[in-house]
Amino acid sequence: MRDDLSVLDATGQAELVRSGACTPLELVDAAIERVESLNPRLNAIIHPLFDKARDQARRDPDMAARPFAGVPMGLKDAVAHSAGDPHHLGMRFLRDLGWTEDDDAWLVTRFRDAGLSIIGKTNVPELAFSDTTEPVAYGPTRNPWDPARSPGGSSGGSAAAVASGMVPVAHGNDMGGSIRIPASACGLVGLKPTRARTSLAPSLGELWGPTTHEGVLTRTVRDTAAVLDRIAGSAPGDPYTAPPPARPFLDELGADPGSLRIGLRVELPAPGGEPHSACRAAVERTGQALEDLGHRVDWSAPDALELSLDDALLMFPVFAARELDRWSARTGRVIGEDDVEPATWVMAEIGRSVTAARYLACLDAAQRWSRQAAAWWAAGWDVLVTPTLPEPPPPLGELTGPTGARLVAYTLPWNLSGQPAISLPLHQDHSGLPIGVQLVAVQGREDLLLRLAAQLEQALPWQDRLPPIHASR
């Protein structure tokens, strides 16, 4: 039974508890065994919370009746925090202080209320400012498809934990692609919801301006929909919230999306260029599958993708400077150059040189760009399809420092616009490495993405594809 659990998604594991085939504690214990076996090779989970997870499974009298019935999960060590646990954001500074948080973030409360058991916190680059997960504080996380390669970032620890079968679901957040990039690199489903679909309460209204979105990484579309149903919604005092869905997101699976008007795009957004041939092949294969499903497919994309995002990208050094100031204030210790990785310090120094007026001009540029992009959907298009990444998962050590413009070229635009975007593991390169395909809809239309994703999951199934480093092997 315990070996079989590693290939079941969260929904399947919860069904075992409801049927009486196993208990919540057995789910947790089996996941702990998998972590102890695999984590030394992957370095995905950096803060084990085994005793807490076992205690929750034993003591919660309603656990078996909750939607996820004790299913184990990983919590990314950034943004959302859990009471009494380490919260280090990949920083040596916070690690050396032994920093912990006093309460659960709103999102963590929702995870617990749904019956998810947090068995550990997952690795993250320093301050989540990279598209690879190689922090000095905790060392690199390795991709279970090839341990010499990156699992992506910044939710790379979560992605490696799910892809290897340690847990069926893990928390992630996405400021420029940090859910979708690891999903592509590790062969997973990764949805960046609509802006403010989930809350950053109680500590924050926004983080990194309007770019931060919370969600999860999973192996199946149904898990993504089911978890979103449990974590969606606003908290008191949120500055804004996403429009409510017409019905539960899980109900969208199997619903007929109709004949959609879908645009394909493989060329990199401005300044342009070609992606890896495997990424082009992934979009072409997906386009053919969509045509076979009865959708109207054309090589078209928003004109706004031809515009430069240089002004918007200048906001990110400001975010870095703010994060160092935030943590200096919270800890009561001024963070200096020797306390952070060199690239983080350089980025923050650039941010400190940006005036308030210049920052607002950058925000205006991002909003102007978002309106221009939205005009494409307003003209009658339903979904845009692109690669998630411009290349297969890169080798560890190749990416250093904060996120570069090329690797987030397909993902960052939708953090700026706030539109929902999902990466699906629809292709592999010649060596078997996963290649993700991104679907983007207009704001508030996760329902449409999930309907279409469910169709593609049936047409181009991926559930039987497991990485070489997996708990079932």
| 473 residues of the chain, pLDDT tens digit each | 555 899 999 999 999 999 999 999 999 999 999 999 999 999 999 999 999 999 999 999 999 999 999 999 999 999 999 999 999 999 999 999 999 999 999 999 999 999 999 999 999 999 999 999 999 999 999 999 999 999 999 999 999 999 999 999 999 999 999 999 999 999 999 999 999 999 999 999 999 999 999 999 999 999 999 999 999 999 999 999 999 999 999 999 999 999 999 999 999 987 778 999 999 999 999 999 999 999 999 999 999 998 888 888 899 999 999 999 999 999 999 999 999 999 999 999 999 999 999 999 999 999 999 999 999 999 999 999 999 999 999 999 987 655 557 899 999 999 999 999 999 999 999 999 999 999 999 999 999 999 999 999 999 999 999 999 999 99
- The tokens describing 213, both together, are 């979105």
Q: Could you give the CA distance from residue 413 to residue 419 in angstroms, rounded to a whole number?
A: 9
Q: Could you give the CA distance from residue 129 to residue 88 in angstroms, rounded to a whole number?
A: 14
Q: Could you give the CA distance from residue 282 to residue 425 in angstroms, rounded to a whole number?
A: 9
What is the pairing mode between strands 434-440 and 421-428?
A: antiparallel
277 is catalytic: no
From 76, 82, 130, 192, active-site residue: 76
192 is catalytic: no
Per-residue pLDDT tens for 274-294? Answer: 999 999 999 999 999 999 999
Where do the H-state alpha helices sit in 45-200? 50-59, 92-97, 106-113, 156-163, 180-186
Beta bridge partners of 169: 73, 218
3-state secondary structure 62-92: CHHHCCCCCCEEEEECCCCCCECCECCCCCH
Q: Could you give the CA distance from residue 221 to residue 371 in angstroms, rounded to a whole number?
A: 29
**pTM to 2 decimal places:** 0.98
> What pLDDT does 404 receive?
58
178 is catalytic: yes
From 117, 150, 155, 178, active-site residue: 178
> What pLDDT does 309 receive?
81
> What pLDDT does 307 receive?
83
Where do the H-state alpha helices sit in 114-235? 156-163, 180-186, 221-231
Peptide bond before residue 154 is cis, with ω within 30 degrees of 0: yes
> What pLDDT does 304 receive?
93
From 6, 130, 150, 154, active-site residue: 154
Q: Could you give the CA distance from residue 363 to residue 312 in angstroms, rounded to a whole number?
A: 7
Phi, psi of 440 (to 5 degrees): -125, 135
Angle at 4 between CA 62 and CA 163, to 5 degrees: 90
Q: Could you give the CA distance from residue 239 to residue 195 in angstroms, rounded to a whole number?
A: 11
Domains and CATH numbers, the chain: 2-299+379-459 (3.90.1300.10)
